[in-house]
Structures are given as C-alpha cells and as structure tokens.
Structure 1
C-alpha cells in the first residue's frame, strides 16, 4: 500500500470535513478517494471517520492519528526536497582536487567561491597529481579536478584550457642570474629538478623533449615536489628547476637566495583545465569548475590556450631516443 498517498488523502478529508472538497483539493474523483480511505482504515484496523449523509467527522482514533499523518507528510516532503537538492548539486558532498603544489591563495579562493555559490555544500578538497586525479575520477572517488595536459581525457568533460609559462629557478651563485632572460641551451651543465614522472608522464616527457630541442639535456634529472625541498636541491647540487612567475621568486630579485628568470622565447609552459566525468555533471561540479577556472585565470602568468594537438595523446619523447 502507498502509505504516503493514503495518508495524504486522510489529511485532506480530515481538514476539509467533506469528501467532495477533499477530492477537489487532491485533484481526483470522489469515489477513488472514498475507496482509498476505506483501504487505509482496513489496513490500520482503525475507523478514521464517522460518515453521515450531511457530515464527515473524525473518530477519536482518527483524531489521534491525524498529527502522526501530518508529521509523516512533512518528513516525506523534507526528504524529497533534500533529494532534489542532492540531485541538483545544491547540497551534499563535493570531492574535488587541485594539482600538487597549488599555492595557498588559489586554494583559499576556490573554497571561498564554492561557499559563496553553494553555501550548503560540504567540500572535500584534495591536493593530487594528474595521474591520481584521473584514477580517482575513473573509480568514482572524485567528482572534479584540475588536470595538466597532455593526459588521457577519454570519458571526461573539460573546461577551457589555460597555459602558464615557466621560467627557471637558478642557484644564487649561477652566472645566469645576471641575465634578463635565460636560453634553454645555457642551462647545460646544471642538473634538473622535476616532479616525479608518475605524477604526469606525458607532461614530464613533453618538458624534457622541449628542453632537448632547445639544446638542454640535463646529465641528471632529480625529483622533488615541495617548494622547500626543490629549493634545497637547487642550492646544494647546483641544479635548476622550472617554475611559473611567483611573488616568492621575482625576476628582479637581488641578494642571496634562489633566483627566478624567464626563459628566452618562453618555450616551456604548463597547460591545464578543469575536468569531470561527462555523465556526472551537477550544480556542485559546475560551481567548482567555474570557480576554479576564474581563480586560475586570474593567477599570475596564466593565459587562455588554444591547443594545436589532441590533449589526450602522449607526445613522442625525443629526449628518450
């Protein structure tokens, strides 16, 4: 028996005290309404109404059950409203990710934007590499993220692709620190610090291929992720690393410490976009992708990009040949 539907009929008759008026309120004919009340009374084993040709009144048992019926309907309406909000992404849990090494300011800005757009949304924000994001999205453990390209984008919807040009972090004693900008070929003799290849294999290969084309083939590639660890390697082993412009390593820095310089001709960049499953778009996912895009687009050195090759294909790496 549809207990909610029958309870709705019971409450309507109790409030209208008339089967005809109750049927009109419910948008149904009177005979089916009378039949529903009879079935409800039979199912409950309680007579709900005293009926005469001129009036309909609640029995003592009906009066006792009326408040419970109203509570059942209120709870049902609350449940259905909550389900609609979850379906539309206006409440519930959003599991999202930003790339490893994202600065504190963009993280805070993304969370603030989500709170503004979806105040009832619980956000679980992770710092994950592109490889980790793709694996978790495929396993339905992540709703949306920001991935670096090129990568395998099959089954994903993508936001606009953005590009952030990379410069080079140099040891403070390097003669190259005196240059306005640095050609890739001038880095010969320096080791290179890169993120672990497993984090984004195609991006890793693309960076090394571009370096090789530009005349720089590092004798040793060292791996690091955290800013302090990378800077420690640069300082201690006379290595270099690629990084976007950032207030912590301005191009006009002087004195002791790591020095950042732009690369001549801007040959290196990171391309990235928001990504989410094509079949799992919701208002919460849209809020995240819109917010992340806005925050990242307003980050120093970020520009809109028009890819000239498919984003899901791995480049052939001349560096490894």
Structure 2
C-alpha cells in the first residue's frame, strides 16, 4: 500500500508518468499498474488519463493530502524502529538556498560529527523549490529565509541573520569607499543572482527603496559564478557577509564593503514539515541547528 502511495505522489509531483517512473527507478508499465491497483483498492479514480497524464481528479486531490501524510508516517515509523535497534542512522536530504551553503556546511560538519552513522545529501535550491520539495517528501528539511515571504505550515528553527555586503575589485571606485549606499551602485556593472532567488528579490526591494532600478548585466544561480566575475574585472556583486568572506578568502584583489541602510536583515534557518513527532534524525538536526545558532550568537 505505502509503495503504491509513493507511486501516486510521484505522478502528482512530476505531472508525467514517464518522469515519475524514472524518479522511482521503475518502468512505466509497472508504475501504471501500481496506480491502477491503488485506484481499485480505494474504489475511486485518482488521475485523469487518456493517452497522457491529465491531472488529478477531485478524489485524487483529496487522496494526495492523505498519501503524503501516510507515507511520511510510515517513514517516521521505520526510522523510529531502526533508531531503537541501531541508534541514529540513515540519510538526511537537506535543500538549501545558495546564500546559506556555507552555513549548511557548518551544520553538516557538527551534525555528522555527533551522529557518524547519518549521511547528508545537500542540494542548492531556491526558497520556492525548498517548500515544494518538503511538501512532496523530496527533502527532509531545508535552510531558507524565515521572515520575508510566506512559508506556509512548516516547523522553523532560526539559525542566523543575513547581512548584505558589496563585493568588488580593489581597483574599482566602490572599493575606495569605506561604506556604500544603495544609490552608489546606480549605473555600476552588476552581476547578481537570478530573479527566481529570494535573495535577488530582497536586493531588488532595497534598490527600489533607494530609487534605483537594478540592472544586472550577468545573472546566475551560483554565487561562485558571481565572485568569479568580480575577480575577472570591473564587476560588482552583492552577497551576504558570510558567503562573501568565504568566496573572497585568499583573494586580496577582492574587497568587501558594508552597505549603509541595507534595510532590515532577514532571518535564515531550518524549515521542516510541520508534524509531530518528527523523525529521530530530524529532531536531532533541529537540536543541532539550535546549538549552532547559539554558538555564533
């Protein structure tokens, strides 16, 4: 039953039988048979389909909520039993906004040191993707903004507050200033994160509040690409302080300047599905996040 519910969740997530089968490591006929058997067991049609996937029926939409809950409960139950017998073990899938990847590394190092039988998979994702992955049971937790855009019904644990800074080449005019205001960046050659990143939306809001229309000649979903452009010439980027320090380490040609009137700093922390009880591994990860936050407070 649980395996068939996982098939159903995968089809709803992918919106395509072939991609759903591939994500589960199954053949498409096996997936289709499993969905049909599930529908026969429940006595309702879950999916509209003709020659291709046609969306969920009203019954399917209601069933999806229960399927996610049941699959999540089953996974929690299995992990509880495994922990009782073997101690904390398994795999934690952590989805992280790009600007928080250095913090993800710090959290991972502490967590795996305390729990050596647990493995972590860390993926760089947008804040919107993180919430979708939590809902679809593709991620166990995430690191994302907590106080800027709606999160929905999730459990949160604050980790740090993000402070924005300018990263520029030491020979640039901006580098000659001790502090920079948003208005100073008007007309500069900017390279920034892509608009689908919440960090970019925060930056845009600050620019607009200063009466500046931000124009990035280069956009990327990678902070490494942004720092590399600054290193290559007369580019300027905007990054959180911790990420900027990490990327500029050992590069004396790159300088970091604080932004005056940078707007309200935003909280970043752990987000996880809202449920009780959490799996033993997730409970331990939440506790480690709280401990890391206190260590850097």
* TM-score normalised according to structure 2 size: 0.60
What is the aligned partner in structure 2 of residue 43 from structure 1?
none
Query: Are 1:154 and 2:152 matched, yes or no?
Result: yes
State the 1:136 CA deviation.
Answer: 1.0
Match of 2:133 in 1: 136
1:127 aligns with 2:124: yes
Mapping of residues 18-57 of structure 1, within 5 Å:
none
Find the residue that maps to 1:209 and give its secondary structure: helix
Question: In structure 2, what is the equivalent of residue 10 of structure 1?
Answer: none
Cα distance in structure 1, aligned partners of 2:196 and 2:255? 28
For 1:189, what is the secondary structure of its paired residue? coil
With over 3 angstroms needed to count, the CA separation of the structure-2 counterparts of 1:194 and 1:119, relative to structure 1, is: same
Q: 1:186 deviation in Å?
A: 1.0
CA RMSD of aligned residues (A): 3.5
Cα 1:237–1:109 change in 2 (3 A) is closer
Unmatched segments (≥5 aa) in structure 2? 1-77
2:200 is matched with: 204
- Higher helix proportion: 2
In structure 1, C-alpha distance between the alignment counterparts of 2:169 and 2:255, rounded to whole Å: 6
Contact 1:117 1:287 in 2 (8 A): no
In the alignment, which of 114, 118, 126 is matched to residue 115 of structure 2?
Answer: 118
Change (3 A) 1:99 1:243: same
Conserved? CA contact 1:162–1:297, under 8 Å: no
Aligned to 1:59: none
Structure 1, residues 217-239: CA drift from partner, whole Å, max 9, x if none? 23445312434421343356743
Contact 1:89 1:284 in 2 (8 A): no
Alpha-carbon deviation of 1:98?
2.9
- Write out per-residue CA displacement over residues 14-51 of structure 1, whole angstroms, 9 at most, x where no aligned residue: xxxxxxxxxxxxxxxxxxxxxxxxxxxxxxxxxxxxxx
Which of 277, 289, 297 is the aligned partner of 1:292? 289
Whichever of the two has the greater Rg, that structure is 1
The alignment status of 1:275 with 2:276, answered yes or no, reads no
Displacement, 1:107? 4.3
Change (3 A) 1:102 1:164: closer
Q: How does 1:11-90 map to 2 (within 5 A)?
A: 83=81, 85=83, 90=88
C-alpha distance in 2 between matches for 1:183 and 1:154: 34
Q: Partner residue of 2:188?
A: 190
Q: Kindly state the Cα deviation for residue 175 of structure 1 after the two structures are TM-superposed.
A: 1.6
Gaps of 5+ in 1: 1-79, 304-321
Paired residues in the alignment total: 216
